[in-house]
Amino acid sequence: MSAQYQVHGDVAVITLANPPVNGLGLSTRQGIVDGLNRAQQDAAVKAIIVAGAGGAFSGGADIKEFGTDKSMQEPNLHSVIAAIEASAKPVVAAIHSVCMGGGLELALGCHYRIAAPGCSVALPEVKLGLLPGAGGTQRLPRVVGVEAALNMIVSGETVKSELLGSMPGQKLFDRMAASPESLAEEALAFARSVADTRPLPLVRNLPCKHPQGDAYFQFARNMVKGMSKNYPAPAKCVDAVEAATKGKFADGLLVERELFINLMWTPESRALRHLFMAERAASKIPDVPSDTPKRDVKSVGVIGAGTMGGGIAMNFLNAGIPVKMLEMKQEALDRGLATIRKNYEAQVKKGKLKQDKYEQRMTLLTTTLDYADLKDADLVIEAVFEEIGVKEAVFKQLDAVCKQGAILASNTSTLDVNKIAAFTKRPQDVVGMHFFSPANVMKLLEVVRGQHTAKDVLATVMALAKKIKKTAVVSGVCDGFIGNRMIERYSQQAGFLLDEGATPQQVDKALEKFGMAMGPFRMGDLAGNDIGWAIRKRRALETPDMKYSRTADKLCELGRYGQKTGAGWYDYQAGKRDAIPSDLVNKMIEDHRKELGITPRKISDEEIVQRLVYALVNEGAHILEDGIASKSGDIDMVYLTGYGFPIYRGGPMHYAGEQGLFNLVQAMNRFAQNPRDDQAFWTPAPLLAKLAAEGKTFS
Ligand code: 3HC
Ligand code: NAI
């Protein structure tokens, strides 16, 4: 049973004990009900406390149980709360550290609540595409007021207990404990002080009204309209809270229940729940236990102060870690420093960073032209030109000067990390840290595990990633790692579509309507079309029979590299980023079609989306088979945090499961019949074919 029962004199204490956050799974719920029953039957017990063991009162319903029989099994959370409300003896919630979701709903069902300061209080269900489903939308407005409650429910944001406790007129906390350490003692004393009070107070009996009534809820609906297109939950939160103000408590509860169940079955909620689990699972490496010792990283060296080096340095400065930046020439250092300053100053101007914080961060940054100055660095990240010869020179120098145990990382986007490691006599200390541009903004960090990378190096880098607020995903060594290896297949299909009759605008619009932050051609213009061009030239030598559309090469031959040259797939006005359809490019595409003897056909948006997204999925399946990614959720995290894949679709691999892998394979077989496409391209990866035949998904 994951709840403990103890009696302290005349007070029974039920302690939730379901690590890590006392999720209210079936066994915990049963434990609470059993404890309540024991306390009712024990004449010596005058009052009952519900508390949490370890680092939380409760993080809410057990998310891992969602979608399983256990989540519906009695006693469900409603029955547990009903049992508390029906208790003949007062029940006091003693709240510390984390009180969220169903945990807060449980506390709201108790007769009294005492909270420690510093506790994170929230109804975060909306972040899982849900709404509070155990009375939270009905009880919270009754204790903190309709507006404050709706703000918390619609945003899901955390509020500190001391702030809530000091709100005028709030009835959420009957008492604030002096400190987390004194909570247990104070809760016992408080429980004794209310042991004989009757009738027992119930939140459900408090009134719930908003003075502006309908007008206020209309305003609230307008506020959530923007986000409602792809996320149904916020608007339903408004409906549920409005129901709390309209009729009897029991009726409101029914409205909430129905809305909650409906949301639970939406693809958006499934995607958000998948994201929650996948995000946490990504930081776990199957053969690197969580207790693997980590190396100390107190100072960082960054080599190269260009586009990536500057952004990488900012991540560490933001986390309070000193950085020494090395370049070949003083001018390059000055340029890099000026860019960092400019970025921070823009943040100060927008009010996102205080001037003194900015200055503090800059004092952590030093520069050098001499490798010897990196001798004490705990971690050095190389971000120099993408040429193996340049990397070789850099890593040989690092090997010569860096102290034993220093981690040597490369930000390479395409080169072989094993080869880079072999330039040193310490391949166990070498790892890939593939940041995404702009490196100070993008959440994704691909951690590239070389053949010899030591486990403690991986554990250290994963922990460090958390410290600098990145989502780290481990990738094996292959061309393009996880993200770029897949995007190449996506881009290949985008090129074929142009040959067959689509325009860059049509392809981009279809993908953006699907939810991608940017279509492939706008993305190419932003990243620089010359990068892909260089990769294709290299690949042409390695795999000369690779089939791809030549349009992208033709574009680059015209010098249209994208925004940086003022022209790419689109035209750009000086200093602006708006993509303007280009007659010249459209003519270039038409001419190319004529050269190929292709009569253009009308291509539906559905076909465009399927071909691009299924191309990602099939390569993702190969990546899993090859062991480059250890789980499909990691691939989803890469796409959600690094490539603008819509969050509400849960990433390409999750989305594929939602579509049904069998349907996916059928569509791929259809695409293979297209004489203009590449038949080999559409051969389903064996893993995809197997799972589709078995009626399974990737997860
Ligand atoms: N159920 C099950 N496991 C949970 C959980 C929950 N509600 N909340 C967190 N966990 C697990 C995580 O999966 C993770 O597990 P792992 O160690 O195996 O990876 C572990 O707890 C720690 O989580 P974090 O890494 O996120 O730790 P933090 O200390 O950074 O944050 C937290 C802790 C603030 C509780 C954060 O995990 C969180 O926000 N959790 C989600 C809370 C939530 O959404 N609750 C609502 C659930 S829905 C509900 O209650 C429905 C009800 O209305 C009917
Ligand atoms: P960049 O050209 O903007 O900057 C490279 C910098 O390295 C220049 O300032 C140059 O002076 C310096 N440099 C070159 N050789 C050096 C040496 N031997 N010692 C010290 N400094 C040296 O290049 P960018 O875009 O920053 O790329 C750097 C690395 O990051 C490359 O490996 C690239 O593949 C990778 N990368 C780039 C991304 C991007 O979007 N630009 C994204 C992810 C990775």
Please compute, for residue 97, the number of CA atoms within 13 A of its CA located in the half-sphere on the CB side. 15
> In this model, does residue 446 exceed pLDDT 80?
yes
Confidence of residue 543 (pLDDT cuts 50, 70, 90): confident
Look over the chain and give the mean of its residue pLDDT values, rounded to a whole number.
Answer: 96
Tell which one of 2, 22, 63 to mutate to probe ligand 1, the residue whose CB is within 8 A of the most ligand atoms: 63
Q: What residues are in contact with ligand 2 under a 6 Å CB criterion? A: 303-309, 326-328, 332, 383-386, 390, 393-394, 411-413, 434-437
Alpha helices in 519-582 (DSSP H): 520-527, 529-542, 551-557
Query: Who's near 73: CB < 8 A, 6+ residues apart?
Result: 26
User: Regarding beta strands 407-410 and 379-382, do their DSSP bridges make them parallel or antiparallel, or are they unpaired?
Assistant: parallel
> In this model, does residue 72 exceed pLDDT 90?
no
Q: What is the pLDDT of residue 531?
A: 86
% pLDDT > 70, the chain? 100
Alpha helices in 402-479 (DSSP H): 417-422, 455-467
Q: Which of the residue ranges 59-68, 450-459, 523-532 has the most confident prediction, judged by mean pLDDT? A: 450-459
Given the candidates 1.10.10.10, 3.40.50.720, 3.40.50.1170, 1.10.1040.50, the CATH classification of the domain at 483-694 is 1.10.1040.50
**C-beta separation of 381 from 408 below 8 A:** no
Read off the amino acid at residue 210. H
Q: What is the pLDDT of residue 226?
A: 84
- Please state the rounded mean pLDDT for residues 39-56: 98
pLDDT, tens only, 366-407:
999 999 999 999 999 999 999 999 999 999 999 999 999 999
Q: What is the pLDDT of residue 579?
A: 97
Q: What is the pLDDT of residue 348?
A: 97
- Please state the rounded mean pLDDT for residues 449-471: 98
Domain extents in the chain = 3-265, 300-476, 483-694
> In this model, does residue 17 exceed pLDDT 90?
yes
- Please state the rounded mean pLDDT for residues 559-564: 95
Say which CATH superfamily domain 3-265 falls into.
2-enoyl-CoA Hydratase; Chain A, domain 1 (3.90.226.10)
Q: Could you tell me where the beta strands, DSSP code E, fall in 96-167?
A: 98-100, 112-115, 120-122, 159-160
d(C-alpha 357, C-alpha 360), whole Å: 5
Residue 571 main-chain phi, psi, to 5 deg: -95, 155
d(C-alpha 473, C-alpha 325), whole Å: 25
**C-beta separation of 437 from 311 below 8 A:** yes
Q: Report which ligand 2 atom has the smallest distance to the Cα of 386.
A: 32
Read off the amino acid at residue 544. P
Regarding the beta carbon of 524 and ligand 1, being less than 6 Å apart is answered no
Query: Who's near 514: CB < 8 A, 6+ residues apart?
Result: 609, 613, 646, 649
Query: What is the DSSP secondary-structure string of 624-685?
Result: HHTTSSSSHHHHHHHHHHHS---GGGT-HHHHHHHH-HHHHHHHHHHHHT-TTS-TGGGSPP
Sheet harboring 98-100: ordered strands across?
98-100, 120-122, 159-160
Active site residue 105: yes
Of 65, 105, 607, 619, catalytic: 105
CA 548–ligand 2 middle distance (angstroms): 28
Q: How long is the chain? A: 699
Burial readout 611-640 (b: 16 or more C-beta within 10 A, e: otherwise): bbbbbbbbbbbbbbeeebbbbbbbbbbbbb
- Whether the upstream peptide bond of residue 600 has omega within 30° of 0, thus cis, is no
Taking each helix axis from N to C end, the angle separating 307-318 and 355-363, rounded to the nearest 10 degrees, works out to 110
What are the tokens at 278? Answer: 């996948």
3-state class percentages of the chain: helix first, strand second, coil last, to nearest 5? 55, 10, 35
Of 65, 74, 85, 125, catalytic: 125
The residue whose CA is least distant from atom 1 of ligand 2 is 306
Q: What is the pLDDT of residue 510?
A: 98
Regarding the beta carbon of 686 and ligand 1, being less than 6 Å apart is answered no
**Residue 545 falls in which region: left (phi positive, over 0), alpha (psi -120 to 50) or beta:** alpha
> In this model, does residue 541 exceed pLDDT 90?
no
CB atoms within 10 A of CB 312: 27
Q: What is the pLDDT of residue 688?
A: 98
Q: Report which ligand 1 atom has the smallest distance to the Cα of 61.
A: 50
- Whether the upstream peptide bond of residue 438 has omega within 30° of 0, thus cis, is yes
- Please state the rounded mean pLDDT for residues 312-329: 98
Given the candidates 3.40.50.2000, 3.40.50.720, 3.40.190.10, 3.90.245.10, the CATH classification of the domain at 300-476 is 3.40.50.720
Tell me if domain 3-265 and domain 300-476 are identical in fold. Answer: no
pLDDT, tens only, 600-636:
999 999 999 999 999 999 999 999 999 999 999 999 9
Active site residue 658: no
Q: What is the pLDDT of residue 536?
A: 86
Regarding the beta carbon of 21 and ligand 1, being less than 6 Å apart is answered yes
pLDDT, tens only, 142-181:
999 999 999 999 999 999 999 999 999 999 999 999 999 9
H or E element in which residue 323 lies: strand 323-326
CA 21–ligand 1 middle distance (angstroms): 6
What are the tokens at 298? Answer: 């107190």
Give CA angle at 633 (630, 635), nearest 5°. Answer: 75
